[in-house]
Amino acid sequence: MMMAYFKGAYQNAFKDSTIEELDFTTTVWAEILGRYSPEELKVAAQRWVAKSKWPPNAPSEIIEELETMRNPELQSRAEEEWQRILDTSYGQYGEISDLAKHVARLVGGWEYIGMADTQKQLPFIRKNFIELYKSQQQSIKEGMMLPSSGPVFSLVDGKRYEGGLRRLSSMVEPV
């Protein structure tokens, strides 16, 4: 159903595809997106079409949309942190979480962000930052469900924490 929706919305994008190619693509997408309900998929497809001139390139783009729908606070937090990173890159210093600093380094570092072309590079850096921030935040939260004894090595800052995961969890921003 989702592929039919995209075919209707983006008619020119699929005009050169054969029936076999569309069937195969539909099968792959159905396998990957099968854990989501038809209602969630329909809303995600509608949201995608409303905001994008182009169809999604891969199911992962729809999964990102679905995860944003499920946890809008995390998306909002990531966007706020991105804005803080930009403000700091442009000389306005503010509070930036350790996680945001780490993710800024992962996407190229402060100088790279500050010197990026605002029209060409910055949108891609922003997208990467937000995706990585959400992924790192989710990984930390999932790690908090593990036992809290013994030393822990942080993926965020590479340090060893003797206080176990309780100490590491202090780095996680409440969402």
Residues 90-132 have pLDDT tens digits of 656 668 888 999 999 999 988 888 888 888 898 899 989 998 9
Residues 73-90 have pLDDT tens digits of 888 899 999 998 888 866
Q: Residue 39: its pLDDT value, please?
A: 92
Count the alpha carbons within 13 Å of 17 in the hemisphere toward its beta carbon.
Answer: 15
Say yes or no to pLDDT of 61 above 50. Answer: yes
| Type of residue numbered 45 | A
What value does the mean pLDDT of the chain take?
80
Same structural domain for residues 96 and 64? no
Say if residue 7 is exposed, middle or buried (CB neighbours under 10 Å; 0-12, 13-18, 19+): middle
Out of 70, 92, 110, a domain closes at: 70
Out of 39, 70, 101, a domain closes at: 70
Q: Residue 46: its pLDDT value, please?
A: 93
Say yes or no to pLDDT of 68 above 90. Answer: no
Out of 25, 41, 70, a domain closes at: 70
Same structural domain for residues 46 and 82? no
Same structural domain for residues 96 and 65? no
Domain membership flag for residue 175: no
Same structural domain for residues 88 and 35? no
Q: Residue 166: its pLDDT value, please?
A: 47
Q: Residue 175: its pLDDT value, please?
A: 46
Dihedral over alpha carbons 39, 42, 48, 49 (to 10 degrees): -150
Domain membership flag for residue 78: yes
Domain membership flag for residue 46: yes
What is the tally of structural domains in the chain?
2
Mean pLDDT of the region 54-78: 86
Instruction: Supply the range of the domain harboring residue 90.
Output: 73-169
